[in-house]
């Protein structure tokens, strides 16, 4: 029972951890710095929490559905608009901030731009610092500038360090070599989409990635099986 509380091993190398850490530090620093040049350091630092959380997604798990461009841009914008509406209608209270975060979550799911740090954006937009409150609806400008800067930083840094980003949702799955027999019952991306829909829970992986993983695993299994057969015949 207690074994379920321990996390599984991370399937990445320490060099990848360092790459993501450097990118996160640079991306967050650049985003806050640029925002401070236009709107002041007080307003810029107000968004450093959500930006740091977004940086973890964009640099460490950039292949996930939660880390794609529409997720951060749409998530930040949705959370900001909902939070400002809640602040105007219900006031800037803890209750209205929590309500805004919940409403933003529903809207992000509907708009397909779910981004966890946007929940913090909704809370902070309602319970904002004096500088952000004084800006009212213009407070969306520094927020979206931070989001756009973080996104541009992630695109530049990830691709410069040989990590393809953003992820192309329509990318074809790994091709099976021509000499390999084709299984008519092989799992496809459409099958995985139906399976994910039946699970009725959000899983941060695309059907295309799952299909590629399955096909790659099948190839490794077939090669291992062939290797075992050959080793037996040579003995």
Q: Tell me: the pLDDT tens digits for 57-84?
A: 999 999 888 999 999 999 999 999 999 9
The residue with tokens 């213009």 is 138
| Residue 216 binned pLDDT confidence (cut-offs 50, 70, 90) | confident
Reading the block at residue 170, the tokens are 């329509």
pLDDT of residue 141: 97
Compute the average pLDDT of residues 148-153. 98
Least confident of 16-25, 134-143, 190-199: 190-199
Asked whether residue 213 carries a pLDDT value surpassing 50, the answer given is yes
Does residue 58 contact residue 161 with C-beta atoms inside 8 Å? no
The Cα–Cα gap between 175 and 215 comes to: 8
Compute the average pLDDT of residues 139-155. 97
pLDDT of residue 11: 65
Does residue 48 contact residue 61 with C-beta atoms inside 8 Å? no
Q: Tell me: the pLDDT tens digits for 84-107?
A: 999 999 999 999 999 999 999 999
pLDDT of residue 214: 74
The Cα–Cα gap between 127 and 21 comes to: 29
Higher model confidence: residue 182 or residue 51?
Answer: 51
DSSP helix/strand/coil, 127: coil
Does residue 80 contact residue 140 with C-beta atoms inside 8 Å? yes
Reading the block at residue 218, the tokens are 């099948």
Sequence ranges of the domains in the chain: 12-160, 168-235
Does residue 99 contact residue 90 with C-beta atoms inside 8 Å? yes
Does residue 57 contact residue 66 with C-beta atoms inside 8 Å? yes
Closest CA to 145 of 73, 97, 69: 73
Reading the block at residue 174, the tokens are 């790994």
The Cα–Cα gap between 166 and 66 comes to: 11
Compute the average pLDDT of residues 213-231. 69
The Cα–Cα gap between 216 and 134 comes to: 54
pLDDT of residue 38: 96
pLDDT of residue 226: 73
Average pLDDT of every residue of the chain: 84
Q: Tell me: the pLDDT tens digits for 168-210?
A: 654 444 454 545 454 555 666 666 666 666 665 556 566 666 6
Write the DSSP symbol of residue 93.
S
Categorise residue 64: left if φ over 0, alpha if ψ from -120 to 50, beta otherwise.
beta
The Cα–Cα gap between 99 and 125 comes to: 12
Does residue 173 contact residue 166 with C-beta atoms inside 8 Å? no
């Amino acid at each position: 029972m207690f074994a379920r509380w321990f996390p599984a091993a991370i399937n990445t190398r320490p060099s990848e951890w360092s790459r993501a850490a450097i990118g996160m530090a640079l991306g967050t620093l650049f985003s806050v710095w640029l925002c401070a040049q236009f709107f002041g350091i007080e307003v810029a630092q107000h968004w450093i929490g959500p930006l740091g959380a977004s940086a973890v997604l964009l640099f460490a798990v950039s292949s996930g559905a939660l880390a794609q461009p529409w997720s951060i841009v749409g998530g930040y914008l949705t959370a900001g608009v909902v939070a400002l509406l809640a602040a105007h209608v219900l006031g800037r209270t803890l209750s209205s901030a929590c309500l805004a975060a919940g409403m933003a979550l529903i809207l992000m799911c509907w708009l397909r731009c779910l981004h966890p740090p946007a929940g913090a954006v909704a809370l902070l937009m309602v319970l904002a610092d004096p500088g952000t409150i004084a800006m009212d609806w213009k407070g969306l400008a520094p927020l979206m500038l931070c989001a756009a800067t973080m996104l541009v930083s992630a695109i530049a840094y990830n691709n410069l360090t040989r990590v393809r980003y953003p992820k192309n949702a329509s990318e074809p799955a790994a091709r099976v070599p021509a000499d390999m027999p084709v299984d008519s019952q092989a799992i496809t991306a459409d099958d995985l989409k139906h399976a994910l829909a039946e699970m009725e829970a959000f899983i941060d992986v695309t059907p295309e990635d799952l299909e590629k993983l399955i096909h790659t695993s099948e190839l490794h299994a077939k090669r291992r099986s062939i290797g075992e057969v050959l080793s037996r015949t040579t003995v």
